[in-house]
Amino acid sequence: MSDNKFYLVKDGRSACSFVYSEYPYPYDVYRDVTPPEPVKNISSRLFIYLNKTLLNGICQETGVWPPLVTEDEGKDLTGNKVYVGRCFTTDLSGLGEANAYQYVIIRHGNTAVTLAHTYGGYRAAAEKIHACVRYSEDKKDAWLDEEAFGTFSRDLPPVRHAFPQFTISFYGSPYNRAPREDEKTFRGIVDFGTDEVPLNANWHDPEDTAKLRRLIERFYAEGITTRLYGAAHPGDCDPLEHPEKAEEYEQEIRGLVETFGDLEGISQWGYWDEPEAWHFNLCSFARTCFRKYDPKKRPVYINLGPRAHSFGVQTFYSEFSRLVHPDYYCFDRYPFFMTEKGAEMTDLYFYSNFELQRAFAVDDGVDHGAILAGIKVGADPARSDITPHFMRWQTNLLAAYGCRYIEYYVYYHVHDYTILGENNEPTWRWDLCRETTGYLKSVFSLLDDHRLEAVFHLPKPDGTYDLDVIPYYGWRGLGNIAGCDAILSFYDEGILVVTDKRADVFDGGDHDLLIPGFAGTEWFDPEQRKFIPICDCPAAEMTEEGFRLHLTLASQYIFR
């Protein structure tokens, strides 16, 4: 058995090196380590994540401090290595079967390696390894036994769904430009296919309150709920530093809730769009007040905005989770670099937000969603307009990342390129979003009751990957897939979602994936809203080499 031990200290001497590779995740556990700017490519999230508790524990127990070296210094080391931070390796055997609710720790040669799909998973792996360190009686040896290695399930709470099913909303109330009684505006919202409509309340005005209550009840009779705004905002006030303003603001929230909270048609309380970190105490205070006065404990809307490229982004999300305890996660990140000249469809960090947010949603046991663009990108004549492919590509990502909520930006008329035109007249963008809404409702009629376990990306045509995504290396029985520019999303009960990443002709044309290990028998037909034999899938073909899937621009297929 001794040969199977992974030694950290042997005969009173260091038997391993801790290799510092990039900066450790999550940053909040390593507050004395400054992360680089910008967040770099995670490539494969394969690394052992060990904090100084383990290092200090070994030192205190044995009197030996294993060396901490940089990644460059560690390349030539021949002894045992434990990676602190990111570990890049080419031999990924045994690492791909973990999901977002598990983590894997393996001994790979003389290196300890971990795969975890979320930040909580990294933390759980660190705790597991720390608990598995064993010492000899004379404290001259410290090692990890075989029990430290393998696949381990995490103990996570059940998901607290903010939305009973996939929910479609939009940003911006068209009643900013229309009276409460305007029938055309009302009928347009109903016909749009939305599940939720944002409305602004002035609960200090009895006449407007009466009109708004009638409007909310009319929407609810049509099966549409309301995200209601209306508590006067105290600016950048920190309630911990200004208790007198906090008391005043609490009464604003109390007044709004007591005026409208009896209505069944209110699904959530609208609160803040794109807060900064110094707003988190106020967000937390407001959420507490809403829950204090609302007997239904409805969720509170806080949209985080685009953050993936920001300095300390993991700390930002971690502090938001710790201080606010959000009811769900939501962000906006519009692909503003789509141009008529063939430039890249997205900025470098577009997928990063989906990756980051999903990780925190899993760890916190809540839903997550996104605000996606339904406008001319950039509102600039030199830039291209949205297209059916562009909209389908955006909305496909919701299924690829297991979202439960979408907002279209932006519904009301604020400039020449929004979903509604002058006088709240629907534009062709309205028709386009309505069409994608039908597709989303079909797909999520299936996916609502399933759990997304893992998301992997195939490479770009040049062999590189988008930032912060997890590459696919032949895991989960599918073998080494020949192809590129696609996302593989593994749901439970054997459901596989394949999403094309090409959204514009400049990204490339039609392309095929060859999946040698594919064993699915059914394809989900979004028009019929049911699984049918895979032989009826127009893009699928079983060949001698394996299963071939033909992807057209912005296509998506669901198999099981």
**Radius of gyration of the chain, Cα coordinates, nearest whole angstrom:** 26
In the numeric block, the tokens 């709004």 are attached to: 256
Helix, strand, coil % in the chain, rounded to nearest 5: 30, 25, 45
Check if the beta carbon of residue 515 is closer than 8 Å to that of residue 478: yes
Using pLDDT thresholds of 50, 70 and 90, give the confidence band for residue 139. very high
Q: Which domain holds residue 98?
A: 2-153
* Cα separation, 362 vs 213, whole angstroms: 36
90-94, 334-338, 378-382, 506-510: lowest mean pLDDT where?
A: 90-94
* AA letter at 322: R
Report the distance separating Cα 148 and Cα 106, nearest Å: 8
The verdict on residue 281 lying in a domain is no
8 A C-beta contact, residue 518 and residue 532: no
Residue 549 — φ and ψ, nearest 5°? -120, 125
Q: Answer with the one of 137, 153, 169 that is the final residue of a domain.
A: 153
160 lies in some domain: no
**pLDDT confidence of residue 382:** 55
φ, ψ of residue 125 in degrees (nearest 5): -65, -40
The CATH number for 487's domain is 2.60.40
What are the tens digits of pLDDT across the range 27-67?
333 333 343 333 333 333 444 445 566 777 888 889 888 88
Q: Classify residue 284: in a domain, yes or no.
A: no
Which of 63-72, 170-179, 419-428 has the lowest average pLDDT? 63-72
DSSP 262-297: T-TTEEEEEEEES--GGGHHHHHHHHHHHHHH-TT-
Nearest Cα residue to 331 out of 363, 349, 306? 306
Could you tell me if residue 136 is inside a domain?
yes
Lowest mean pLDDT, pick from 20-29, 221-230, 327-336, 455-464: 20-29
Q: What is the DSSP letter of 28?
A: G
**Of the residues 153, 180, 195, the one at which a domain ends:** 153
Could you give the dihedral angle defined by the CA atoms of residues 155, 161, 162 and 165, in that order, rounded to the nearest 10 degrees?
Answer: 150
- The two tokens of residue 470 are 């997890």
Supply the CATH number for residue 31's domain. 3.30.379
**Amino acid in position 309:** H
Helix axes 243-260, 206-221, angle to 10 degrees: 60
Q: Which DSSP category does 22 fall into?
A: S
Q: List beta partners, residue 303.
A: 273
pTM above 0.85, yes or no: yes
Q: What domain count does the chain have?
A: 2
Residue keyed to tokens 């995504």: 469
Share of the chain above pLDDT 70, in %: 87
Residue 552: inside a domain: yes
pLDDT at 480: 92
Establish if 11 belongs to a structural domain.
yes
Using DSSP's 3-state secondary structure scheme, residue 521 falls into coil
Is residue 237 a part of any domain in this protein?
no
Q: Which of 153, 172, 187 is the last residue before a domain boundary?
A: 153
Residue 525 domain flag: yes
